[in-house]
Amino acid sequence: FFSNCHKVDQQKGMQHPAGKFYVQAVVMLGSAFFTSLAAIFVGWSVSYGTAGKTTVGLWTYCVDTMDAIHTTTCKNHDLSGISVVGSDTKCQTYFRGTQVVSIVTTAVLVPNIIMLVITAIKVWYQQKLLILGSLLLTIVSLTASILAIIFWVIFSQTPCVGVLPTSVTSPLEGYSIGFILECVTAGLIQFSWILQAVGAFVASKKKVKVPVYEEAPALVIPTDGFYVY
């Protein structure tokens, strides 16, 4: 598939100079999709309380009692009752904000990747609307990913008031794999945007001369006053 993106127009038998940038951008966005999807379902921070170690994710929190067999219990967040955000309005706002924008990041990456693949395939034809659309979607997904990181940092560093689980201390004491994956996601999306921008620049500025082959003239053979074509 990607070899087709690299060659793009086999009829012309030439590789477009911008093709390699778009292929690399597709790989970056594809990787970002998987890291953002994984980040949604794993823990983002850790906390140490009287009941043990708690890993806090976007939808659940898991308590490891730190005993010999590391007994672990996971529960869904109940923001209306005992929860990791307590009853603090500020904590709840940034916590819910992280949930929303992390989903937006993953959701926007899907049409973004599709549009970028089409752009790579049709790079010879300089589809300006596709190029601009892909760049804009990449900016949207990058913005959402960065907001998820910012919201979580504010939430995790804010002392939340209210009724918290006994295993949770507030503010939280560190970051876990989910937060790291979201940071990786933002980095991949940013690199993809740069590659797309370079590809768009090359596609618009570098004039590729495509050889045009003219048909050979018909062979005329005189035969007794008649011409055979």
Distance between start and end Cα atoms, the chain: 44
Per-residue pLDDT of the chain (229 residues; tens, 9 = 90+): 444 444 444 444 456 666 677 788 999 999 999 999 999 999 999 887 777 788 889 998 888 887 777 788 888 877 776 677 777 788 889 999 999 999 999 999 999 999 888 887 776 666 778 888 889 999 999 999 999 999 999 998 888 876 677 667 778 878 999 999 999 999 999 999 999 888 777 766 655 555 555 565 655 566 565 555 5
- At residue 150's C-alpha, the angle toward residues 170 and 166, to 5°, is 15
- What proportions of the chain, in percent to the nearest 5, are helix, strand and coil? 55, 15, 30
d(C-alpha 197, C-alpha 200), whole Å: 5
Please, which residues have CB within 8 angstroms of residue 4's CB and are 6 or more apart in sequence? 10, 121
- At residue 135's C-alpha, the angle toward residues 133 and 139, to 5°, is 115
69-96 b/e (C-beta count within 10 Å ≥ 16 → b): eeeeeeeebeeeebbbbbbbeebbebbb
**Contact by Cβ (8 Å): 17, 210:** no
- At residue 196's C-alpha, the angle toward residues 194 and 198, to 5°, is 70
d(C-alpha 14, C-alpha 8), whole Å: 8
pLDDT in tens, 4-20: 444 444 444 456 666 67
d(C-alpha 229, C-alpha 226), whole Å: 10
